[in-house]
Structure 1
Amino acid sequence: MQHDVAIIGGSYAGLAAAMPLARARRNVVIIDAGQRRNRFAEYSHGFLTRDGTKASEIAQIAKEQVLAYKTVQWEDGSVKRIEKVNDGFAVCIDATRSVTARRLIIAAGITDQLPEISGLAERWGKTIFHCPYCHGYELNQGKIGIIASSEHSAHMAMMLPDWGKTTIFINDYPVPDELLVQLKARGVHIENRAIQEITGQSDVVLADGSVIQLDGIFATTKCTIAQDWIFKLGCEIEQNAIGEAIKTNSMKETSVAGIFACGDVARLGSSVPLAVGDGTMAGAAAHRSLIFG
């Protein structure tokens, strides 16, 4: 059976993409490897009607609602290869089976490369975060840290005083002097001593043994596309200080005909609401392309 659309990635963006296609009674297959990007965070915030809900619960309810449509099929597994075939694409899953589809929506997410600081990875999504809009409010105007690790760090540090008393840990990262002046004007404390490790809830141990206790820490990551098959498809990739993403137009079309992309893999800067919005657009656009070419 040839599907109308194969969606790679069954998290928020992929499920949102499936919904308009399902409601148009199109045959859809969703292929998911079970590695939701925000699986490290227990709760999701800032999504209308679901604010403060468990992130896993939102994903599970979405899956149940989409699979209630009889034309939607779910495949557990990892995509290993995609080949262009007549009138569509052949998608190899786990090197054991394949499906074909006329259109392809990539919602495969990205991989976060975390700063290499002892104790950070274990606290990622719990007391160390990437987005103040998603997690800043719950820190209750407490003491907040931001670790300088990219060009985006100073930008985030300028924002964070709206959520609490902020310290930026330079940690040997080259922050321009003019930005340091702006940060001080915003009331941000500049900490130049290097970080040795992070312990406790979110306590920063410095190289001289001093400990700074915080209510939460923010850190920027390098977002990378881990799936080699995406590059082999020839989709144009865009890059900036945050990382890399598949380039799309306003209808979520990639540079390759018949392929759409949505969610974190196609947006430099992301959240659950944005993923859902992008996914809905990608699904609707893929449906229209089946009709109008």
Structure 2
Amino acid sequence: MENQAFEVIIIGGSYAGLSAALSLGRSLRKVLVIDSGKACNQQTPHSHNFLTQDGKTPKEISLIAKQQVTQYNTVSFLNDLAVHGQKTPIGFDIQTQSDRVFSAKKIILATGIKDIMPNIKGFSECWGISMIHCPYCHGYEYKKAKTALLANGERTYHMASLINNLTKDLTILTNGPMDFNEQQLKKLKTNSIEINEKEISEIEHKNGHLHKIVFKDGSKERFLAAYGPLPFEQQTSIPLELGCELTEDGHIKADYLQQTTVQDVFACGDNSSPMRSIAHAVATGNIAGAMVNKVLSEKQF
């Protein structure tokens, strides 16, 4: 890569990053997309709820997207991991794992998030296959199936209402003492949703497909699917190194134009929104790319 200076560096080359790159490539912007090739949904067999691509594998969608973006010769790709970022008098420097440094006037963070897996044997092997995070992305495939919800408290109550729409055979596994108020308990009971407070020791599965959930008292219960809303952290420390503020939930704080709290740094996709889906990542990436081009165009005009 001869020229180390770019107008825009996009950190992350999955759906949000590629969508931003497409907007910028079509605007003739000199762009570098840095991506390590380790998507968080690589274990997911099929993607759903993304118009025109429903049922495709995540890899298929990414390959088509990258092939289309590659047609724009002002967009370059680097298979590497961005590890550090800093503000400079003329923009930003991004350092990669291979010790290369690239500079740009604008940064788009499309870095995603990292799920924090619970210490339950078999959980991570099932994650994205039969242990799912989103009723919109995968719930239809398990409609009317015997389903578990591994969660507790306020967020559980919200998830239960969505899953109850897809199956009436739902059990909440709180993995310890439940944390619901009287009104919530009454509502759950009205909808015939059972609550099991036993601690979980293992997920029995075959190639990621849930078979049984094993409890610490030795008992087991058969389920076909389970929802497991997980805590998360940012995939990289670069947003904090650049001074970006985070929300209380841990997302990068960004406005409706994907601008972060740091001027000339934009964020899109899972790192800046709880709406975790390919469709949303593509939409916010498109906005981020368009807004960066707008800022650059107005400055040059």
The TM-score normalised by the length of structure 1 is: 0.95
Structure 2 residue 230 is matched with structure 1 residue 230 = no
Give the counterpart letter for 1:159 in structure 2: L
Q: Is the CA contact (8 Å cut-off) linking 1:150 and 1:220 kept in structure 2?
A: no
Q: Is the CA contact (8 Å cut-off) linking 1:22 and 1:66 kept in structure 2?
A: yes
Structure 2 residue 48 is matched with structure 1 residue 45 = yes
Q: Sort the Cα spacing of 1:212 and 1:247 in 2 relative to 1 into closer, same or farther, 3 A.
A: same
- SS of equivalent to 1:199: strand
Distance 2:177 2:68 in 1: 46
Distance 2:289 2:177 in 1: 41
- In the TM superposition, what are the counterparts of 1:209-288 in structure 2 within 5 Å? 209-240=218-249, 244-288=250-294
Name the structure 1 match of 2:161.
158
- In the TM superposition, what are the counterparts of 1:93-132 in structure 2 within 5 Å? 93-132=96-135
Distance 1:226 1:104 in 2: 16
Q: Is the CA contact (8 Å cut-off) linking 1:148 and 1:154 kept in structure 2?
A: no
Distance 1:268 1:140 in 2: 23
- SS of equivalent to 1:231: helix
Name the structure 1 match of 2:199.
194
- In the TM superposition, what are the counterparts of 1:70-81 in structure 2 within 5 Å? 70-81=73-84
Q: Is the CA contact (8 Å cut-off) linking 2:145 and 2:224 kept in structure 1?
A: yes
Give the counterpart letter for 2:150 in structure 1: I
The TM-score normalised by the length of structure 2 is: 0.92
- In the TM superposition, what are the counterparts of 1:15-54 in structure 2 within 5 Å? 15-54=18-57
Q: Which moved more, 1:123-132 or 1:202-211?
A: 202-211
Name the structure 2 match of 1:167.
171
Name the structure 1 match of 2:65.
62
Q: Which moved more, 1:173-182 or 1:127-136?
A: 173-182
Per the TM alignment, residue 192 of structure 1 is displaced from its structure 2 partner at its CA by 2.2
Report Cα offsets for 1:241-282 as digits up to 9, x if no partner. Answer: xxx111011100011111000001111231110000000000
Q: Is the CA contact (8 Å cut-off) linking 1:106 and 1:261 kept in structure 2?
A: yes
Runs of 4+ deviating beyond 6 Å: none
Distance 1:27 1:231 in 2: 25
Indicate the percent of aligned positions where both proteins have the same amino acid: 36
Q: Is the CA contact (8 Å cut-off) linking 1:80 and 1:95 kept in structure 2?
A: no
- SS of equivalent to 2:286: helix
Report Cα offsets for 1:207-226 as digits up to 9, x if no partner. Answer: 33222111101001112114
Per the TM alignment, residue 128 of structure 1 is displaced from its structure 2 partner at its CA by 0.5
Report Cα offsets for 1:147-199 as digits up to 9, x if no partner. Answer: 11564222112221111111101211542233222212222111122222110
- SS of equivalent to 1:37: coil
Q: Is the CA contact (8 Å cut-off) linking 1:253 and 1:260 kept in structure 2?
A: yes
Q: Is the CA contact (8 Å cut-off) linking 1:161 and 1:187 kept in structure 2?
A: no
Per the TM alignment, residue 116 of structure 1 is displaced from its structure 2 partner at its CA by 2.2
Name the structure 2 match of 1:177.
181
Between Structure 1 and Structure 2, how many residues are aligned? 290
- SS of equivalent to 2:42: helix
Give the counterpart letter for 2:59 in structure 1: S
Give the counterpart letter for 1:38 in structure 2: N
Give the counterpart letter for 1:166 in structure 2: L
RMSD: 1.4
Distance 2:232 2:83 in 1: 21
Distance 1:26 1:173 in 2: 55
Q: Which moved more, 1:154-163 or 1:45-54?
A: 154-163
Q: Is the CA contact (8 Å cut-off) linking 1:7 and 1:14 kept in structure 2?
A: yes
